[in-house]
Amino acid sequence: MKQEIKNLNKKISKLKNQVYELELNERIKINRKLIGKYFKYANGYNLEERWWLYKKIIDITKEGYIMSIQFENNLNGINIQENNISTWLDHSWIKITEGEFLEAWSKCFCAIKNLNDKL
């Protein structure tokens, strides 16, 4: 009985590794197509307090995760993340043009400059 369990555990482990490899290859295939693309997401604390979170996909990790630069100007101020890592983008993210992204970045940069002028 113990040997049977041991053999089954080996098979389970081998199957888990195969599933991992298949998922990894699929994640890499999907996320590689996103490199260089721009997105925005309707972020907020509740339904009344909303703002856009912007993201540019810059690369993927060896595990196929998305590497991005993202920023937002929310109710508490400006938040910029240079090396954000995420598994995927769900349907809530809206694809946008580079121009829209850069316009939002310019507004964020101006807000930082205005803050700096107050110091």
pLDDT in tens, 44-100: 988 888 999 999 999 999 999 999 999 999 888 899 999 999 988 899 999 999 999
Locate 91 and state its tokens.
């349907």
Locate 68 and state its tokens.
């991005």
Strand order in the sheet with 50-60: 77-86, 66-74, 50-60, 38-44, 94-96
- Closest by Cα among 29, 32, 50 to 41: 50
The full set of domain ranges for the chain reads 2-118
pLDDT of residue 18: 97
